[in-house]
Amino acid sequence: MGESKAGPAPGGLDALAAEGVAPWLGGLRRSLVTSGRLPELLTGAGLRGASFGPEGLAADAAEDDGCREQLSLLARRPAAPDTAVLALSAYDLRSACDVLRPVFDAGHGSDGCVSMDVDAALAHDADGTVAAAEELHRAARRSNALVKIPATGRGLTAVRACLGRGIGVHVTEIFSARRYGQALDACLDGLEDARAAGHDLAALPVCTSLAAGRIEAGIDARLTALGTPDALALRGTAALAVARLAYRLYEERLGTACWRRLAAAGARPPRPLWEAAGGDAGRELRHAETLVAWGTGVVLSPAALAAAAAGARPEGDTLTCRHREAAALVEEVERLGVSFEDTAAELAGDRLERLTDAWRVLRRVVGEQLRVGRR
């Protein structure tokens, strides 16, 4: 018998899936759903989740024929801009959830979710966020629909309240390991409230997104500004370090009596998602390959998802039991005068400002289309 030879290591999104990493598409647009491209990504690329954003909704309101037709019908009622935004959001969320429903069912709710924002102007208003989340949840009427809530202090209060009401959440805009731990606590407290209220925990998906790409970009900018050889040598390390620290907190929470009680009641772990956005497609691909552990996910832009599908080569589990070296790296960076917490606060403020501006643009574009439809 001839000597057998091992074939090349698998690449692409199948390789990520083999490591337990679920690929998500960030910046989902209606055109991907209506054109049939989203189903192709599910079957061909192995997509496991998706997320809309206000920037894409605004672009669709101005450019997509289906959106303009929907807004024209709403204009004849007539509908206010906020009502029209909700109608567009709910339609897109339902449509994408229906496409991903087979993935959701096959994975018993661990995959196949789609998330949608509520107005970022409510990020520091817990009651307003909960009310907006309830409105979107009722309008979407899909068990694999998640409401995106930024991890501000009041946002985490809203996360707990939404879960307690049986509303699935996607906690976003997390820029530090410390805030990630607080987000996990809010999720577990909310699941406890949901259990006490009699909700089916098996039907209540939860995701938490660490903004790994933006964290690294922010830290790298400060290291570059320092300009010393020691500082420059540490660029490109922040995303992995913070993800390792966050993953350690995730593991610790899953080892508590609280989690064992929730798991016995049917709850699934809040899925850690690493947001790779914040750089070009090449940097996002690097994050997809290096932020690897079982039961996690990575959110990629369309360009980065295509690059990952073409040849991602994950490095194996890079997160489990690696928190000590991550803490040492963070300490080394901070000795140079770059504070991770200060950077996180600045990044969070800047991101919320950008999201709030995007929502203003969305309402303005929708208002303009409604006026056109009334002529």
Give pLDDT tens digits for 334-346: 999 999 999 999 9
Range scoring the smallest mean pLDDT among 7-11, 98-102, 334-338, 356-360: 7-11
- The neighbouring-strand residues paired with 207 are 170, 271
Encoded tokens for 209: 């997104």
**Which member of 148, 160, 195, 222 is catalytic?**
148
Of residues 9 and 268, more confidently modeled: 268
- Percent of the residues in the chain that have a pLDDT greater than 70, as a whole number: 96
Task: Indicate if the pLDDT at residue 125 is higher than 50.
Answer: yes
Range scoring the smallest mean pLDDT among 27-36, 124-133, 324-333: 27-36
One-letter amino acid identity for 214? R
- The neighbouring-strand residues paired with 145 are 114
Are residues 201 and 164 in contact, defined by beta-carbon separation less than 8 angstroms? no
Task: Indicate if the pLDDT at residue 5 is higher than 60.
Answer: no
Encoded tokens for 219: 């830290």
Give 221-279 pLDDT, tens digit per residue: 999 999 999 999 999 999 999 999 999 999 999 999 999 999 999 999 999 999 987 66
Q: Is 148 a catalytic residue?
A: yes
Find where tokens 């996910």 sit: 297
Encoded tokens for 100: 């991903």
Give 67-108 pLDDT, tens digit per residue: 999 999 999 989 999 999 999 999 999 999 999 999 999 988
Longest dimension (CA), the chain: 80
**pLDDT value at position 38?**
86
What are the start-end ranges of the H helices in the chain? 13-18, 30-34, 37-40, 54-63, 65-75, 81-106, 126-140, 153-164, 177-196, 212-226, 229-233, 238-253, 257-264, 281-290, 302-311, 323-335, 340-374
- Give the mean model confidence (pLDDT) for residues 31-49: 83
CA gap 254, 356 in Å, rounded: 34
pTM (2 decimals)?
0.94
